[in-house]
Structure 1
Amino acid sequence: MNERVTDTAEKPARRLPGVEGVWVFLAADMLFFTALFVSTMIGRRDAAEVFEAGRLTLDPNYGGINTLILLTSSWFVVLAVNAAKHDRLDEIPRWLLAAFGCGVAFGISKAFEYGTKLSAGITPASSDFYMYYFILTGFHLLHVIGGSVMLLVFWKMSRRRAFDSRRLAVLESGGLYWHMVDLLWIILFPLLYLMK
């Protein structure tokens, strides 16, 4: 007589990272940027020479450096979330502060880039390309600033040991937002700086 032994231990339910509703917020934000990306592509199609002339005035080194800064910041956020998952509470503040520092570095780099454009007399009114450039990068920069403030708040909370495996969802939500900000830049960089 063969009897099958079944495992009666329940597996934990799989869940999406983050607090309830964060995915709806992220999807709405991505839809907003998708509309901007599509509008930019239509503008490029309708005024290819204007867009190419504008693209040639951008320094892809700024964009490349900013890409490295944001990817590094995302890595630091992953390390912070991983530390929280494993209750390594002493590590969380270090990684969040490093990610915040990357956000500040991105903002400083963007300020220098904007400064060179504005000092050369280039504004959003200079051409359709620059209108899209300043709108896209400006909205993105606002997201970086908001995300950096969030990272700073999380850093202060983590110093009080507010994050552990039981309160992980809040930190995960912040991490998801920060990764979305990086993803947006990964689309913006080639769209504005590289595409001919």
Structure 2
Amino acid sequence: MSALACEPEQEERWGVLDGLPGDAMMWVLILSELVAFGLLLGGFVVTRALNPVVFAVGQAMLDSRLAAVNTAVLVTSGWAAARAAASARHASTGSARRWLGLAMLLGAVFIAVKLTEYGGEIAAGAGMETSPFFTLYFLLTGFHLLHVLLGIVILAVVGRSATANGVETGTAFWHIVDLVWIVMFPVLYLVG
């Protein structure tokens, strides 16, 4: 027997990422996405400070009620995702899949509400080139919408096997999508 065969398997170590739920590479992606959203939000805040009247007019055109509904939908989907992770940790594959299904369904509701909101804004004459407010608004919310769609795909993929590590990896991404929206909502819709 070789000396290597006697040694216990070594897990790959990532230092600061050790101990986080799910796969460490997902956390690398999450951190890079947080930087991207942070830069976009920072650009939004700085541009608002330079153009307060333009931003006040743009913000007044938004439907904060639909955005509030979407906030509740996404937070609820995050709760469902957390339940899926707990179920997967307890080896309850069926339960984990059902909770993931609810999280994905709520993600689809978020997308439908956001597209409805976009339709109203476009009908009112708002577009990417209307003002700096709407340029940044559509970039931020569109980028986030793509992440919701990607999150639904990730949850569907990890739901196939519903292993604890897979579900934790997928739900970690989903929770970051929730967190980003929770920060974006007041910045875009409420703070003037």
Q: Quickly name the TM-score band, shorter chain normalised.
A: 0.7 to 0.9
2:117 is matched with which residue?
113
Alignment partners' CA distance in 2, 1:89 and 1:138: 33
Larger Rg: 1
Q: Which amino acid aligns with 2:171?
A: G
Deviation at 1:135, TM superposition (A): 0.4
TM-score (norm 1): 0.86
Higher helix share: 2
Residue from 175, 178, 186 that aligns with 2:174? 178
Residue from 140, 158, 180 that aligns with 1:154? 158
Alignment partners' CA distance in 1, 2:166 and 2:37: 24
Alignment partners' CA distance in 2, 1:135 and 1:20: 28
Uncovered stretches (5+) of structure 1, i.e. residues with no partner: 1-13
Does residue 103 (structure 1) correspond to residue 107 (structure 2)? The answer is: yes
Deviation at 1:21, TM superposition (A): 1.9
Alignment of 1:28-43 (within 5 A): 28-43=32-47
Q: Which amino acid aligns with 2:165?
A: A
Deviation at 1:114, TM superposition (A): 0.5
Uncovered stretches (5+) of structure 2, i.e. residues with no partner: 1-17
* Deviation string, structure 1 residues 6-25 (Cα, Å, up to 9, x no partner): xxxxxxxx722111222211
Alignment partners' CA distance in 2, 1:111 and 1:20: 33
Q: Percent identity over the alignment?
A: 37
Alignment of 1:129-144 (within 5 A): 129-144=133-148
Count of residue pairs brought into register by the alignment: 175
